[in-house]
Chains A and B, each alone.
Chain A
Amino acid sequence: MDILSMILMSVVAAATPLLFAGLGELVTEKAGVLNLGVEGMMLMGAVIGFAVTAVTGTAFLGIPAAALAGAAMAGLFALLTLNLLANQVATGLALTLFGVGLSSLIGQDFVGTPLDRLPQLDIPGLSTVPVIGPVLFGQDALVYLSLLAVGGVVWFLARTRAGLVLKAVGENPAAAHRLGHSVLGVRWLAVLFGGAMSGIGGAYLSLAYTPLWAENMTAGRGWIALALVVFATWRPGRVLLGAYLFGGVTIAQLHAQSAGIDIPSQFMSMLPYVATILVLVLISRDATRIRLNAPASIGKVFHPGG
């Protein structure tokens, strides 16, 4: 494989966890719920995915387990914010703090455990095309799944009745409620989906990107995924674009470090975080655009009883 396709492969690998988590959070936010616990859900997905794969020896069990772990965390969030009407910002923060603690508790026996990287599924014939062949057709199953998920979410939100209901719930829950839609039911499902996607995103980190478990290994990716949703102005196609841009920044700084560029590594490592701030500033600058694109009821408590 030539160097260019190797770099592109690594960009895809760095982007995939962000893509999963960002897409999941987008659907959650489209339903009007702001879940700031992405980091905690990703960590739980990472540790459970890793542990189950290490114990059973197959990622076919590990990945669904990671999705379940993320969804379970999201369920806790949904119970608190949707049924017990707790503040979404505070609960999301609690979810992250809890996820950081619980994942390191579960993961302490798995620190240093070696694991084979998630195998690459070469699509016969196409994966040998120069440069783009391996990048497009020589990836692992989760990368394909993430791309399918982008298409799926685009289709769901734009083309299905359920997608319209979800958006209606996010824009005007009171009206959706009066039309007979279950606001809480829709939001529960959207939050669970977001959790499962974050869980898979976390599992991609611990099963494919690094393959190992380390405490706090998401290193802020959950928060970057939240910023991605804003960057994408709540459009799934742009989450894809944003995730690959961030993947590019991450890989660029890693390559610059290994190429021996005379800048201290810490400053290079700051790049993804600084880039996130810059992107947020550029997008948020236009307050009208944010207001027009953000789901109108985001973050607000809805209580059907009035």
Chain B
Amino acid sequence: MAVSGLLGLRLERRANASRAMLLVTPPLAVLLTVLSGAVLFAALGFDPVKALMSYFVAPISTRYGIGELAVKATPLAMIGIGLALGFRGNVWNIGAEGQLTLGAICAGGLALAFHGQEGPWLLPLMMLAGAAGGLAYGAIPAWLRTRFNANEILTSLMLTYVGTLLLSYLVTGPWKDPDGFNFPESRLFNDAALLPIILDGTRMHLGAPLALLAVVVGWVIVARTLIGFQIKVVGLTPIAAGYAGFSQARTIWFTLLLSGGLAGLAGAIEVAGPIGQLQPSISPGYGFTAIIVAFLGRLHPVGVLLAALLMALSYLGGEHAQIELGLPLALTGVFQGMLLFFLLASDFLVHYRLRRVAPPGVRAARGRVGEARRRWTSFP
């Protein structure tokens, strides 16, 4: 740090993470992303102001748009809550996309199996099946990690590819719609297998309150339970956790099962909500975007909710700008990646500070002044 030394500044690790910076940096990262977005739009030959309006404002200026925001934020918040808990404990579940897919397969399979003989019991059963599917799929990396020490990042990600291929097999093979002109899709679910709309004139469905419930449960786990505390300690100081008798294996199992279950539930909600059938692709990468959601939300349930809304807006904006201005849809991914970069860069301000380092003579003099002042103030 020669340069900062020259300026009389020194980089210091803060004893405690700065709470103020923890709250200020996410909006700062968003601002920087929007500014870079303007530059990018200009570079692509679009009027930056018009493009930004079309991307970030126009999509949610209608009632329908608000509903769409909720539709997209629902899976993001739900998955993000689970991932955030895991990340707190240094358990890196990167395979939420795969767990979502398995949830969708389980819920969708149920809807197809009971096609034509549904009752009010079907929908809750589908949700349970989805959560169970995701949970079981999250159990694989948990088992491989605790039993064989295999890195959960790589195993959960590999399982995502396996899950997608399994879905592809099902919708092109045994579950293909018999009257579907050979399209790789299942038949459309009946009404009893679809989540009811809760806001007229939009697609907002019962999944949105379920996601809010997940946020509340996540908050309770983080703030009010022993396991939430254990996860945090295991993540921050594994050695201290060991002395306290907190098991790392239990943290791994709990967080992977929980995040897998929530991702599976999100998958069930997607097929029973906006999609209404099984298709080869049931998610525009929600499982991966939820990673950004978890970080942007500072691994805190309330933050995750806000971040999920923002990321939902980035999906909507991408679609809107594509239709309106012919901007490429891939911009969404660029924006999301950029936002995470800015956030990680600004993390620097949370954990470190630049401090003026006075020359030794000044320091000594300051010490004497301080000494005198203390003597005066402690004078009776």
Contact = CB atoms under 8 A, between A and B. Distances in A.
Interface residues of B, number: 49
B22 interface: no
Interface in A101-127: 101-102, 104-105, 108
Given A97-B333, A269-B165, A305-B10, A264 B348 contact: no
A223 interface: yes
Given A86-B348, A284-B150, A287-B149, A98 B13 contact: no
A255 interface: no
Q: Is the interface of B mostly helix, strand, loop or mixed?
A: helix
A66 B151 CA distance: 29
Given A273-B161, A273-B162, A280 B341 contact: no
Interface residues of A, number: 50
Given A98-B334, A98-B337, A273 B149 contact: no
Contact of A285 (B148, B155, B162, B335): B148
Contacts, number: 144
Contacts of B330: 101-102, 104-105, 108, 215
Nearest to B11: A305
A57 interface: no
A269 B165 CA distance: 8
A305 B12 contact: yes
Interface string A210-222: 0000010001100
A76 B345 CA distance: 10
Contacts of A287: 149
A77 to B, nearest CB: 9
A97 B336 contact: yes
Contacts of A164: none
Interface stretch (A18-26, A87-95, A132-140, A154-162): A87-95
Interface of A: 36, 76, 79-80, 84-87, 89-91, 93-95, 97-102, 104-105, 108, 215, 219-220, 223-224, 226-227, 230, 264, 266-267, 269-270, 273-274, 276-277, 280-281, 284-285, 287, 290, 303-306
17 contacts: A76-B341, A90-B344, A97-B333, A97-B336, A97-B337, A100-B337, A101-B332, A104-B328, A105-B331, A105-B333, A224-B158, A264-B169, A266-B169, A270-B166, A273-B159, A277-B150, A280-B144
Given A84-B345, A230-B151, A274-B162, 10 more contacts: A36-B153, A97-B291, A98-B334, A220-B158, A223-B158, A267-B165, A273-B158, A280-B151, A284-B148, A284-B150
